[in-house]
């Protein structure tokens, strides 16, 4: 699915202008067949206005403290499965190149389970998905449902026939080590 991204900015004299209007193709991964990721905008620090609206440079998928990311991701049905001929090493390298830092938080012994140092604001746009926490507690989420996720260990489980598209805003946080 393509997502249209319209971007505004300001000129040197303070005039508001449109600086971008283009379709964004999804990022797809061999390791997650049927899943799509749209990295629409973000920053690694608090933004100082005005800005010219130029896209930020490449960065890690998850923001550092004070940073943010905005995008969409789709969770493919679990029935999609992995291809039998998948080269896992190449698939992990692809993930590291396309979504830097994503593989670092994924648990190898519990596929899909992960934890990040972010506060996540999510809204289900279409489809259904189950949000599972580390103690096995689950919630079914449907279109319009919102989640505020405060750095918890979790996984997204799509036990249904259609993909689930989710709008996400990730805000970098600091985890207390004590």
Cα atoms found within 13 Å of the Cα of residue 82, Cβ hemisphere only: 11
Residue 43, beta-bridge partner list: 68
Average pLDDT over residues 51-77: 92
Give the integer Cα–Cα distance in Å for 178 and 172: 19
Domain extent listing, the chain = 26-172
Q: Give the pLDDT confidence score for residue 174 in this predicted structure.
A: 96
pLDDT for the residue numbered 177: 79
Q: Which overall architecture, per CATH, does domain 26-172 show?
A: Sandwich (2.60)
Residues 6+ apart with CB under 8 A from 33: 76, 80, 81, 82, 83
Question: Would you state the pLDDT for residue 38?
Answer: 97
- Whole-structure pTM value: 0.93
Contact 143, 126 (CB under 8 A): yes
Tokens of 4: 């249209």
Distance CA 15, CA 21 (A): 18
What's the rounded Cα separation, in Å, for the pair 43 and 38?
15
Categorize the per-residue pLDDT at 57 as very low, low, confident or very high, splitting at 50, 70 and 90: confident
Can you tell me the mean pLDDT for 40-64? 90
pLDDT tens column, 72-127: 999 999 998 888 899 989 999 999 999 999 999 999 899 899 999 999 999 999 99
Interval 120-162: pLDDT, tens: 999 999 999 999 999 999 999 999 999 999 999 999 999 999 9
Residue 85 · residue 25 · CB < 8 Å: no
Angle at Cα 141 formed by Cα 117 and Cα 28, nearest 5°? Answer: 65
């Amino acid at each position: 699915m393509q997502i249209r991204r319209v971007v505004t900015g300001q000129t040197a004299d303070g005039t508001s202008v449109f600086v971008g209007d283009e379709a964004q193709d999804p990022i797809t991964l061999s390791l997650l067949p049927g899943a799509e990721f749209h990295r629409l905008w973000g920053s690694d620090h608090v933004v100082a206005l005005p800005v010219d609206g130029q896209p930020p440079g490449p960065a890690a998928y998850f923001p550092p403290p004070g940073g943010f990311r905005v995008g969409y991701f789709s969770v493919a049905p679990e029935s999609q499965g992995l291809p039998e001929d998948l080269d896992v090493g190449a698939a992990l390298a692809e993930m590291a190149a396309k979504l830097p830092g994503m593989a670092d938080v994924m648990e190898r012994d519990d596929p899909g389970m992960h934890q990040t140092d972010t506060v996540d604001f999510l809204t289900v746009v279409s489809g259904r998905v189950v949000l599972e926490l580390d103690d096995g507690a689950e919630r079914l989420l449907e279109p319009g449902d919102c989640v505020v996720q405060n750095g918890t260990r979790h996984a997204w489980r799509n036990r249904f026939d259609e993909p689930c598209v989710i709008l996400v805003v990730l805000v970098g946080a600091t985890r207390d080590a004590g």
